[in-house]
Amino acid sequence: MRAIVLNRHGGPEVLRVRDVREPEPGAGEVRVRVQCIGVNYAEVLSRKGLYGWAPAMPYTPGMEATGTIDALGPGVEGRAAGERVIVGAQYGAYAEKIVVPERQALPAIAGFSADENAAIAVNYLTAWVALMEMARLRPADRVLVTAAAGGVGTAAVQIAARFGCATVGMAGSDEKLETIRALGAEEAVNYRGSGFEARLREAARPGGFDVVLEVVGGEVFRAVWPVLAPFGRVVVAGFASLALQRWNPLSWLRTWRDLPRADLRSLAPASHGLMATHIGYLLDDSPRLARVWGELMTFVAAHGIRPVVGATFSFDEMPEAHRLMESRASTGKIVVRI
């Protein structure tokens, strides 16, 4: 079968499709024939060697895909070849076939296209866990989402706005602001260029934001604290702006400066909270995954939510898909079709 095997870190050109042996499912596992792959920013980071959750090389990257079950390992019951599924994994999805524990193959959503099924798991689970499980969103909350035109960002804006929250999205270009408003945001703010703190203050209204979903880090992370309401909660799910270069000591200093962090003494006066989330742990926690996924699916169906698929590429174009994600020009999810 064909798969992308990462055997050195580097630019998008290291993502080359090769012929590899087809994997066989072991006990409790299923093999899935992949139709579409959902591309994640974490895979850009792992390609560069900057992602802590990546396995040792060589390995096939890829955290999510959709396709059909094509083989069952010993002991798997209640699943069948041909079943359409969404797969979540630590790695392995940049391939024609992937083997995962049966619990990591969730039923695909009927009525969604293959592109949409490849675009929902990571982004919507991340947004849902951050907003609902951690920040404990209430409809009266004023919500701020950073990188709001991106994969996680579009999911978060849709969820918060449909939940009834006045929602503001921030992004790095004026072109993205319309996308954010079209998803239900009351306002959209460009955080690149001078004066963005003033625009943010205006969008915060006198009361400030109750909940912030932050995935950028650096000056964006620092800018949210002055506009946070009392009892406000900031949930950090990423830091896309950090650009660590292994051989550049200045970049180590900048990375250290820009990593999201807070001092308890500065949080206490206005009762502010800082939390962080990584949904990878859900892969090992079947009961929690089942509950959270079930609640998310109920909400998605009730509100007619569909993922924004901003661009599609063929399997051989995976380097182009990564280039687009790094360029900051993408909106919604980037999907690669096998």
Ligand X SMILES: NC(=O)c1ccc[n+]([C@@H]2O[C@H](COP(=O)([O-])OP(=O)(O)OC[C@H]3O[C@@H](n4cnc5c(N)ncnc54)[C@H](OP(=O)(O)O)[C@@H]3O)[C@@H](O)[C@H]2O)c1
> Does residue 188 touch ligand X according to CB under 6 A?
no
> Does residue 325 touch ligand X according to CB under 6 A?
yes
Residue written as token pair 């009961």: 287
320/326 with CB nearer ligand X:
326
> Does residue 318 touch ligand X according to CB under 6 A?
no
> Does residue 23 touch ligand X according to CB under 6 A?
no
20/276 with CB nearer ligand X:
276
To ligand X, the closest distance from the beta carbon of 82 in angstroms equals: 30
272/322 with CB nearer ligand X:
322
To ligand X, the closest distance from the beta carbon of 235 in angstroms equals: 9
147/274 with CB nearer ligand X:
147
Measured distance CA(137)–CA(88) in Å, rounded? 25
Structure tokens at 25: 């499912």
> Does residue 126 touch ligand X according to CB under 6 A?
yes
Measured distance CA(81)–CA(217) in Å, rounded? 43
> Does residue 215 touch ligand X according to CB under 6 A?
yes
> Does residue 196 touch ligand X according to CB under 6 A?
no
DSSP 3-state of 309: strand
Q: Taking phi first (over 0 means left), then psi (-120 to 50 degrees means alpha), and beta for anything else, what does residue 212 get?
A: beta
69/121 with CB nearer ligand X:
121
> Does residue 12 touch ligand X according to CB under 6 A?
no
Residue nearest to ligand X (CB): 150
To ligand X, the closest distance from the beta carbon of 63 in angstroms equals: 8
Which positions from 38 to 67 touch ligand X by CB under 6 A, shown as an x/- string? --xxx-------------------------
Strand (E) or helix (H) holding 270: none
Which one of 13-21, 90-98, 260-268, 276-284 is the stretch in contact with ligand X (CB under 6 A)? 276-284
Q: List b or e across 120-146, with b for residues whose CB sees 16 or more CB atoms inside 10 angstroms.
A: bbbbbbbbbbbbbbbbebeeebbbbbb
232/238 with CB nearer ligand X:
238
Measured distance CA(181)–CA(170) in Å, rounded? 10
Measured distance CA(278)–CA(142) in Å, rounded? 23
Q: Which amino acid is at 294?
A: G
Identify the DSSP state of 132. Answer: I
When binding is defined by CB under 6 A, the residue of 20, 306, 326, 337 that contacts ligand X is 326
To ligand X, the closest distance from the beta carbon of 26 in angstroms equals: 27
> Does residue 123 touch ligand X according to CB under 6 A?
yes
When binding is defined by CB under 6 A, the residue of 176, 233, 272, 322 that contacts ligand X is 176
> Is residue 98 a contact partner of residue 70, using CB atoms and an 8 Å limit?
no
Q: Vertex 115, ends 110 and 116: CA angle to 5°?
A: 50
Residue written as token pair 């020009």: 329
Measured distance CA(122)–CA(296) in Å, rounded? 12
Partners of 4 in the beta sheet? Answer: 17
> Is residue 23 a contact partner of residue 98, using CB atoms and an 8 Å limit?
yes
Which positions from 222 to 261 touch ligand X by CB under 6 A, shown as an x/- string? ---------------xx-xx-x------------------
CB atoms within 10 A of CB 261: 11
Measured distance CA(285)–CA(296) in Å, rounded? 16
Size of the site for ligand X (CB under 6 A): 29
Binding residues for ligand X, per CB under 6 A?
Answer: 40-42, 122-123, 126, 147, 149-153, 171-172, 176, 215-216, 237-238, 240-241, 243, 277-279, 325-326, 328, 330
